[in-house]
């Protein structure tokens, strides 16, 4: 890692779930205080802040988000607002690498459960306006992608049954991981039969237990230049590579509807920045807004061959040992329970993913700490905005 790599010196988050009684500023305050204690800094040390949310102005009528963060921290430093946590993190990394700042706050929050019926329309418009006007729900494109995948790879009879089982196994796996995560929205195990029963009940290829929940919550981290980081930690967890890419907003208009080209490009570019091979990554937090998207991400990020991820999942989960066995190597995926069981408060989701990988790389994940024959060195996080319209990949490494 010869380039200037921003260092994560502090992390914090709230429990995800329904927080009807708590205002968004209380959620981000909790996450920020935990991150600052973790970093050993005071608010006066901050030089800038990058924050994220999708819907707070709609759900909570709070006005300009930067203003209430300024009021909360009693600071007048530069602040910028983005949609996703990954976007906020990428902007913060760019600023540190450019030498503009030495220590910044990256935070994200969302309050979705209070007005879920209202923001379902806004979410679909955000993801794909044309599909919305055709009468689609936020879940519709996931089902369309699954049908396209089945047709493209000619999956029938026994193989089609294995695909359906593999998707269910993803949900079961992530819920099992969440039982060890104190912050998870649903820290309880489920059975494959329950996942399949929900699909049958809804008469759809993906059911209730295939989708991530609606959530409230916040996450935060403190990012520093290497020079400043040395004064706060001896355990450097660097954002070694970060990249994003985009695609058409209208899903049916895309050339390939069985993967996200934005994810593929972002992963390739992130790997180039770090100068490592994809096989060097041992742990990944993937954006499983549905069980299908975890499967697709395994292919888009190059872990599984195109059209083969379902087979890797199916074989690994017949006797699940805490990881996917892909091409003879272990890959730990969504060890916090993923969006599926940990929760999905949009503006904070990427922060929880980063939180998990940092904890694992530091060896601080407690009873969910992964056990490998080789010390953890690199992990990655993937996050989407919309239905694959914009993709981010961050590669974190110990240095």
- Rounded to whole angstroms, the Cα distance separating 269 from 395 reads 11
234 Cβ contact list (under 8 Å, min separation 6): none
Helices (H), the chain: 24-39, 56-59, 65-73, 85-97, 116-127, 129-133, 140-152, 157-178, 192-202, 226-229, 261-274, 291-300, 309-317, 338-342, 346-362
Q: Is residue 340 assigned to a domain?
A: no
| Nearest one of 125, 311, 354 to 222, comparing CA atoms | 354
What's the domain range around 18? 7-116+214-229
**pLDDT at site 15:** 98
Tokens 């989960």 belong to 317
From the CB of residue 117, how many other CB atoms can be counted at a distance below 10 Å?
6
For residues 248-255, average pLDDT = 92
Please give the tally of structural domains in the chain: 1
For residues 31-54, average pLDDT = 96
Which tens digit of pLDDT belongs to each residue from 10-20? 999 999 999 99
Q: Is residue 288 assigned to a domain?
A: no
Confidence of residue 256 (pLDDT cuts 50, 70, 90): very high
Q: Is residue 36 assigned to a domain?
A: yes
**pLDDT at site 235:** 85
| Nearest one of 286, 302, 272, 312 to 388, comparing CA atoms | 286
Structure tokens belonging to residue 378: 């690199």
Q: Is residue 151 assigned to a domain?
A: no
Q: Would you say 216 and 111 are in contact if contact means Cβ atoms under 8 Å apart?
A: yes
Which tens digit of pLDDT belongs to each residue from 75-123? 999 999 999 999 999 999 999 999 999 999 999 999 999 888 778 888 8
**pLDDT at site 96:** 97
- Rounded to whole angstroms, the Cα distance separating 139 from 212 reads 10
- Indicate the pairing of strand 237-246 with strand 103-111: unpaired
Confidence of residue 303 (pLDDT cuts 50, 70, 90): very high
Tokens 């981010």 belong to 392
Residue 193 has pLDDT above 90, yes or no: yes
Q: Is residue 305 assigned to a domain?
A: no
Residue 2 has pLDDT above 50, yes or no: no
Q: Is residue 312 assigned to a domain?
A: no
Tell me how far CA of residue 91 lies from CA of 79, 177, 189, 259, in angstroms: 11, 31, 37, 26
The CATH number of the domain holding residue 65 is 3.40.47.10
- Rounded to whole angstroms, the Cα distance separating 73 from 86 reads 22
Helix/strand/coil percent split, the chain, to 5: 45, 20, 35
Q: Is residue 31 assigned to a domain?
A: yes
Strand partners, 330: 325
Residue 190 DSSP class: -
Q: Is residue 162 assigned to a domain?
A: no
Tell me how far CA of residue 217 lies from CA of 23, 30, 36, 74, 111, in angstroms: 10, 10, 18, 22, 7
- Rounded to whole angstroms, the Cα distance separating 110 from 292 reads 24
pTM of the model: 0.96
Tell me how far CA of residue 169 lies from CA of 190, 312, 314, 360, in angstroms: 10, 11, 7, 23
């Amino acid at each position: 890692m010869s380039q200037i790599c921003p260092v994560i010196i502090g992390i914090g988050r709230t429990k995800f779930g329904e927080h009807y009684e708590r205002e968004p500023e209380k959620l981000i305050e909790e996450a920020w205080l935990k991150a600052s204690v973790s970093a050993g800094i005071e608010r006066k040390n901050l030089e800038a802040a990058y924050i994220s949310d999708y819907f707070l102005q709609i759900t909570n009528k709070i006005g300009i988000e930067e203003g209430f963060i300024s009021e909360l921290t009693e600071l007048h430093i530069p602040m910028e607002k983005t949609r996703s946590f990954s976007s906020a993190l990428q902007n913060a990394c760019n600023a540190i690498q450019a030498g503009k700042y030495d220590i910044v706050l990256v935070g994200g929050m969302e309050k979705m459960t209070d007005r879920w019926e209202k923001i379902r329309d806004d979410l679909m418009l955000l993801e794909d306006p044309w599909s919305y006007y055709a009468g689609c729900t936020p879940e519709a494109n996931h089902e369309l992608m699954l049908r396209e995948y089945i047709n493209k790879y000619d999956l029938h009879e026994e193989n089609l049954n294995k695909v359906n089982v593999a998707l269910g196994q993803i949900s079961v796996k992530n819920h099992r991981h969440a039982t060890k995560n104190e912050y998870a929205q649903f820290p309880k195990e489920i059975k494959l039969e329950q996942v399949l029963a929900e699909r049958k009940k809804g008469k759809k290829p993906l059911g209730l237990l295939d989708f991530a929940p609606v959530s409230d919550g916040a996450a935060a981290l403190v990012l520093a230049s290497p020079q400043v980081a040395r004064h706060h930690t001896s355990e450097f967890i660097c954002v070694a590579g970060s990249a994003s890419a985009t695609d058409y907003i209208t899903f049916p208009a895309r050339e390939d509807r069985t993967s996200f080209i934005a994810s593929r490009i972002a992963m390739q570019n992130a790997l180039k920045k770090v100068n490592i091979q994809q096989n060097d990554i041992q742990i990944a937090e993937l954006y499983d807004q549905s069980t299908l998207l975890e499967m697709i991400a395994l292919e888009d990020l190059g872990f599984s061959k195109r059209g083969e991820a379902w087979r890797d999942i199916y074989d690994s989960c017949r006797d699940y040992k805490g990881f996917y066995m892909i091409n003879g190597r272990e890959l730990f995926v969504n060890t916090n329970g993923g969006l599926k069981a940990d929760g999905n408060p949009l503006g904070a989701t990427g922060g929880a993913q980063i939180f998990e990988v940092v904890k694992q790389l530091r060896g601080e994940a407690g009873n969910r700490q992964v056990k490998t024959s080789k010390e953890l060195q690199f992990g990655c996080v993937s996050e989407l905005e919309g239905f694959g319209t914009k993709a981010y990949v961050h590669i974190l490494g110990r240095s």
